[in-house]
Structure 1
Amino acid sequence: MANDGKREYRTAELAAEAGITVRTLRFYRERGLLPAPRREGRIAWYDERHLARLRTVAALLDRGHTLGGIAELIAAFEGGRDVGELLGTPWSEETTVRLTPEELADHFAGEVTPENLAAALDIGYLAVDGEEIVHISSRLLDAATALVRAGIPLSAVLTAAREVRAHTDALAGMFTRLAREHGVADEGELTRLRPQARTVVDAEFALAMDRRLREAGAHDAPGSGDTPTCAPHKPC
């Protein structure tokens, strides 16, 4: 049946499309894995959103998630901000990335837990658009993926992200105040000065990393932590 031009399925039709039994479909619905269908008398009508959800559940099961874990992920997912809410904020030059839940799981194998998903949604890295997840920045997604693959837990990456967000907000506030205190109050002028502000932050961060690496190298150098030895019969 079609409703407003969209295809709809009866229970048996949806189960067949998803490659599962009617009993399994009803079990998923009871577990909260599937949204309630549209009712028309005693007939339950499902649509493409339900089919997409069933395919997501199947893909996550294939990746080793339990039904309980998937239910928790879906609850966190549905509690996240709608993409329209996040699209109301300027995202500068960042390129957004659209992901299915299973694609997100592939980025962070074994690390997509309800807690981590809720944290990423709360920070504002992720938003929800129907059955898709939208990440606000391809660069941040690539960086987080690389850090996790290097062995840093996603929970630690997200904790660090909160700190970075606080520091960068403070830096942005400082540059904005600096400009306005010296007569640059127009939004267009502030936007044109953004590359200079970013250059300062990039350069200072690079210099700070160099200092940290030198300090770490000096600390790890042979003899750096040894007790000094003295020549025979000579005071130290």
Structure 2
Amino acid sequence: MSLMDHNGWRIDDLAQKAGLPVDTIRYYQREGLLPPAQRAGRCKMYGPVHLTRLERIRELQQRRFSLAAIRALIDDAGSTGLRAVFTDAGGAKEYSLDEMAELAGVDGTIISAICKAGLLREPRQYGRATYDGDDLEMLHAVAALWDLGLPVKAIAAIARIYTEGVEQMQRRVMDVFGGSNEVEWDPGEYEQVYELARASAGILLDATRRIVDYTHHRTLQRLTLDALAEDQAESGRRA
């Protein structure tokens, strides 16, 4: 149904239907979150598409997405790509940094160290307004290392190594779908793969996570055996 078929609403009517102040709707328009109104004579008219968009914005705000993330998710409405990226296992619970530190049992020294290492960042960098259960779970893992007696500087080093390594790896993987030289594409092949990735991002992300988990585990096993073999060889040379 087009806006003209619907006859449309004035902005006051739209605000009433959406349960929002008129100023909020105008703010969303300035931020590019709403499509332009259509003119009917001297009046600007709105329709169901605007109401649906406002309801979607409210839903994303309730999930504590930042304005930048909301804009990206709304623009990606025809694809599951960004929705898959921003779907967290952490649930809807919200935490401040102090709340997470208390729940995980870590002090400010550890928090400062892992923030400096890049492991824990401001939620807005993830498109979130607050921390969630994923962040808390990570802090519990850090607390487990601390409880083992690992010094803060060692925890920070591990955090930095993993953060830098994963970012470098992920950038290269993303470059594959950006048409980089990592793959020698046949004519027209890259376009097909790109569209496939957009349409099936959820499956793609789940599959790559499992590959990463497998690679991490097998690499740890292989390097551990290599280290043991090297120790045995060194002992033999000393004997």
What TM-score do you get using the length of structure 2 for normalisation? 0.41
The structure whose residues are more often strand, as a share, is 1
Return the index of the structure with the highest Cα Rg: 1
Structure having greater relative contact order (Cα 8 Å, sep ≥ 6): 2
